[in-house]
A and B are shown apart, each in its own frame.
Chain A
Amino acid sequence: MKARIHITLKTGVLDPQGKAIGHALEGLGFEGVSEVRQGKVIDLDLAETDEARAREQVRAMCERLLANTVIENYAIDLSQ
């Protein structure tokens, strides 16, 4: 299976990089962007073929390494 993990900053955690990107967009003349939040995407190729087991495996990876849950949320998308 393939897994795509979206890691985003929790609400309330300041995101200076997102702010800087917002300012740059404004400087380029793009209007109406009220907030920018930056995150990251991690793609995994998994040997596991069972969706439930794959989700559990990736969840454990996120908890132990891929995300820091003090400041980050993660969401897992699985596909064959």
Chain B
Amino acid sequence: MKSAVVVFPASNCDRDAAVALQRATGKAPRMLWHAETDVPDDLDLIVLPGGFSFGDYLRCGAMAAHSPIMRDIVRRARAGTPVLGICNGFQILCETGLLPGVLMRNASLRFVCKPVALRVEETQSLFTRRFKRGEEIKIPVAHGDGNYFADEETLDRIEGEGRVALRYAPGANPNGAARDIAGILSENRRILGLMPHPERAADAELGLTDGSKMFASILEALP
């Protein structure tokens, strides 16, 4: 599997994502600077990492969504190239319109940084196929703007289409997200945006390992 991690100014989880990908696939991902205009043709997976791209100016992810490299990424994503957006990457995917809705300021107005309990709602995706439906997992979050919002009609639609991949477990919603949504899939199920950081839960020495199942799922789907 050939993967790439995009690096924006003030990305800060790009190397963690690269380590997790390398560990899962045995191959180092390409690191793509945001100012590049073309994505290599042979990529099986593009990762938009966590961080605070462009200092969260204007809105989280709004500037990065218009970085030069994003034009090609949006084009490829629409054509079916899998994209994983973690935290700031999820915010960027929403700002590009590849995923519906928006991540707003946490309802508490506080930055939250802690492991949270999640429920895997959908296993019909290349990111979640190794999990069991309804399985409860623990993955850290670290964000100030993770409060997922979309209008009721959009929420009903993505729920009806089975696109809510991950939900905060009952009582564990750390940010006020609508319907406890922690991660959603695109219509073609090849794009996943999620607020929790699977790359921070992929090494036993750091405590949590549930995130490694996501990378194992991706490798299984895209050998």
Residues of A within 8 A of B (CB): 13-14, 16-17, 20, 64-66, 68, 70-71
> Given A14-B176, A66-B58, A71 and B109 touching (CB < 8 A)?
no
B104 on interface, CB distance cutoff 8 Å: yes
Q: Binary interface profile of B, 97-139, with partner A (CB < 8 Å = 1, else 0)?
A: 0001110111111000000000000000000000000000000
* Pairwise interchain contact A71-B66, C-beta atoms closer than 8 A: no
B interface residue count range (under 10 / 10 to 19 / 20 to 34 / 35 or more): 10 to 19
* Pairwise interchain contact B149-A13, C-beta atoms closer than 8 A: yes
* Pairwise interchain contact B102-A16, C-beta atoms closer than 8 A: no
B210 on interface, CB distance cutoff 8 Å: no
Q: A16-B107, A70-B150 are in contact. List 4 more A-B contacts (CB 8 A).
A: A14-B149, A14-B176, A16-B105, A70-B100
A60 CB, nearest partner CB in chain B, Å: 13
Q: Which of A64, A65, A66, A71 contacts B102 (CB 8 A)?
A: A71
Q: What are 9 A-B pairs at a CB distance below 8 A?
A: A13-B104, A13-B149, A16-B105, A16-B107, A65-B66, A68-B59, A68-B95, A70-B94, A70-B149
> What are the residues of chain A within 8 A of B109 when measuring CB–CB?
16-17, 20
Q: Which of A14, A17, A20, A70 contacts B101 (CB 8 A)?
A: A70
* Pairwise interchain contact A71-B104, C-beta atoms closer than 8 A: yes
Among all A-B residue pairs, the 6 with the closest Cβ atoms: A70-B102, A16-B107, A16-B109, A71-B102, A68-B102, A68-B59
> What are the residues of chain B within 8 A of A65 when measuring CB–CB?
58, 62, 66
> A20: nearest residue on chain B (CB-CB)?
B109
A22 CB, nearest partner CB in chain B, Å: 13
Cα distance A68–B150 when bound, in Å?
12
> What are the residues of chain A within 8 A of B107 when measuring CB–CB?
14, 16
A50 CB, nearest partner CB in chain B, Å: 26
> B150: nearest residue on chain A (CB-CB)?
A70
Cα distance A20–B107 when bound, in Å?
10
Cα distance A15–B95 when bound, in Å?
19
> A42: nearest residue on chain B (CB-CB)?
B58
> What are the residues of chain A within 8 A of B66 when measuring CB–CB?
64-65
Cα distance A13–B101 when bound, in Å?
12
Cα distance A13–B104 when bound, in Å?
10
> B104: nearest residue on chain A (CB-CB)?
A71
> What are the residues of chain A within 8 A of B100 when measuring CB–CB?
70
Cα distance A21–B151 when bound, in Å?
25
A73 CB, nearest partner CB in chain B, Å: 14
B200 CB, nearest partner CB in chain A, Å: 26
B218 CB, nearest partner CB in chain A, Å: 28
